[in-house]
């Protein structure tokens, strides 16, 4: 069970980061869910709840009385405490017993994946800890949460690889459906039906998954498929992923719609595509434990610049896991919006996308998004690489 794997992993992470205690503090998680909660429990929690993991190995969950049994059934926690009136007394009793010198809470300035604690819940926890003189021991749990998400277990990697495989099957199917006269919306609907046939979920919001863009002057990314018609001479790209047993894939593929008499894409499209393929492979070669995301990103941008293309306006790649955009470390430039993420050290077990893009005037956007897993000495593709344009005949 992945929950058991992850809770046990968190004990080792506390020791590694020299932190005594990690508390994930939540309430009404169907409304305000913490991104890390699925690693800790199997269902939403209702009243104030605290999942406590100690470097000593203690694993405790304090939750509302009606949530107690389902947590006990996991067989993960040494003690599950149910309460009725208030969480305060059992929480403080356990903290007095543990007597931690540091209390890592689920908040972060830089990492959204580590920032599940609402401001109101933070104030509540501070008030509780003041009563026992521990309010000055609060630190961010970002190091633990980031590592917990980023260092994928073999079980997690297997699930992600299967999600990749399922998404690739849909891409193969849609290649037989795309043709001049179809609309972006029709292409997307075809793919959604294939996902439903497999009893899978889309990896992100169905409004923009899949995202389909044909020809020039499109929104480019993160936009719903439209009634724009696929035409000969268009470059068409699709951004798509599925969720398999709670784990996601995130891929992009590029197609070229042949004009009558054409047997291959025009030179400018081929050049753009070959540049993207090379930039992905060059950056993958740099992606290894100990590297920094900013340097991997730069390797990709250097290839585009060397071939006369402008920089793409986003990071080269993000992590993938239970969300299509997951983890803290990022393969990106040192732009303010990314905070410290591009400077994080790459670690074994991380799963990233590599997704540069460039514009071919009057044709459309050429982009590929591959998925890779970081191994001990380098990185390997999880996806079946796209190294040739997918040509669509009229």
Distance, CA of 49 to CA of 27 (rounded, Å): 6
Distance, CA of 93 to CA of 239 (rounded, Å): 50
Q: Which of 148, 173, 194 is the last residue of a domain?
A: 148
Tell me what pLDDT residue 183 has: 98
Question: Cα 157 vs. chain centroid, distance in angstroms?
Answer: 13
Distance, CA of 107 to CA of 113 (rounded, Å): 9
Residues 143, 158: one domain? no
Residues 131, 169: one domain? no
Tell me what pLDDT residue 221 has: 86
Spatial neighbors of 225 by CB under 8 A, at least 6 apart, are 183, 184, 185, 187, 188, 210, 211, 212
Residue 214 phi, psi (nearest 5): -120, 130
Q: Which of 115, 148, 181 is the last residue of a domain?
A: 148
With contact defined as beta carbons under 8 Å apart, do 77 and 63 qualify?
Answer: no
Inter-CA distances, 191 with 44, 70, 238, 370, 374, Å:
31, 36, 10, 19, 29
Residues 363, 387: one domain? yes
Residues 131, 158: one domain? no
Tokens matching residue 228? 């724009």
Residues 257, 178: one domain? yes
With contact defined as beta carbons under 8 Å apart, do 270 and 389 qualify?
Answer: yes
3-state secondary structure 195-250: HHHCCCEECCCCCCCCEEEECCCCCCCCCCCCCCECCCCCEEEEEECEEECCEECC
Q: What's 369's domain CATH number?
A: 3.90.230.10
Distance, CA of 312 to CA of 255 (rounded, Å): 19
Residues 81, 214: one domain? no
Residues 60, 142: one domain? yes
Cα three-residue angle 76-80-85, rounded to 5 degrees: 150
> Can you give the residue range of the structural domain that contains 120?
2-148
Q: Which of 148, 167, 186 is the last residue of a domain?
A: 148
Q: What's 117's domain CATH number?
A: 3.40.350.10
Pairing of strands 317-319, 326-331: antiparallel
The tens digit of pLDDT for each residue in 323-343 reads: 999 989 999 999 999 999 999
Question: Among candidates 318, 319, 286, which has minimal Cα distance to 303?
Answer: 286
Distance, CA of 49 to CA of 62 (rounded, Å): 6
Residue 67 phi, psi (nearest 5): -90, -10
- Look up the pTM and report it: 0.93
Residues 95, 192: one domain? no
Peptide bond preceding 210 in cis form (omega within 30 of 0): yes
Domain count of the fold of the chain: 2
Distance, CA of 79 to CA of 85 (rounded, Å): 19
Residues 140, 169: one domain? no
Residues 214, 347: one domain? yes
Tell me what pLDDT residue 188 has: 98
Report the chain (394 residues): mean pLDDT per 10 consecutive residues.
Answer: 93 97 97 95 97 97 97 97 98 97 96 95 98 98 96 95 98 98 98 97 97 92 94 97 97 97 97 98 98 98 97 97 94 96 96 98 97 97 98 90
Residues 34, 79: one domain? yes
Residues 281, 305: one domain? yes
Distance, CA of 157 to CA of 5 (rounded, Å): 13
């Amino acid at each position: 069970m992945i929950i058991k794997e992850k809770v046990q992993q968190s004990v080792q992470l506390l020791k590694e980061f020299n932190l005594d205690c990690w508390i994930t503090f939540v309430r009404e998680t169907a409304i305000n869910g913490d991104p890390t909660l699925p690693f800790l429990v199997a269902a939403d929690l209702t009243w104030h709840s605290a999942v406590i993991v100690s470097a000593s190995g203690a694993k405790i969950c304090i939750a509302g009385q009606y949530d107690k049994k389902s947590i006990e059934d996991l067989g993960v926690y040494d003690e599950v405490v149910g309460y009725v009136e208030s969480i305060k007394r059992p929480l403080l009793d356990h903290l007095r017993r543990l007597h931690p010198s540091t209390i890592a809470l689920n908040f972060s300035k830089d990492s959204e994946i580590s920032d599940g604690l609402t401001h109101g819940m933070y104030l509540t926890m501070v008030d509780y800890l003041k009563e026992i003189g521990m309010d000055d021991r609060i630190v961010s749990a970002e190091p633990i949460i980031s590592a917990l998400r980023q260092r994928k277990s073999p079980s997690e990697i297997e699930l992600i690889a299967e999600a990749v495989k399922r998404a690739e099957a849909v891409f193969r199917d849609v290649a037989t459906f795309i043709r001049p006269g179809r609309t972006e919306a029709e292409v997307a609907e075809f793919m959604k039906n294939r996902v439903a046939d497999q009893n899978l979920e889309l990896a992100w919001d169905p409004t923009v998954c899949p995202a389909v863009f044909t020809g020039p002057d499109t929104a480019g990314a993160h936009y719903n498929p439209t009634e724009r018609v696929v035409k000969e001479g268009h470059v068409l790209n699709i951004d798509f992923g599925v969720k398999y047993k709670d784990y996601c894939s995130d891929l992009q593929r590029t197609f070229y719609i042949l004009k009558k008499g054409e047997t291959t894409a025009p030179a400018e499209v081929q050049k753009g595509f070959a540049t993207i393929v090379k930039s992905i492979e060059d950056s993958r070669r740099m992606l290894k434990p100990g590297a920094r995301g900013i340097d991997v990103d730069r390797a990709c941008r250097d290839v585009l610049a060397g071939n006369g293309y402008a920089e793409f306006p986003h990071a080269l790649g993000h992590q993938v896991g239970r969300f299509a955009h997951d983890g803290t470390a990022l393969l990106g430039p040192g732009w303010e919006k990314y905070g410290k993420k591009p400077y994080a050290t790459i670690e074994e077990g991380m799963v990233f996308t590599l997704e540069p893009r460039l514009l071919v005037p009057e044709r459309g956007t050429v982009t590929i998004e591959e998925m890779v897993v970081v191994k001990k000495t380098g990185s390997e593709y999880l996806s079946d690489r796209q190294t040739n344009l997918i040509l669509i005949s009229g």
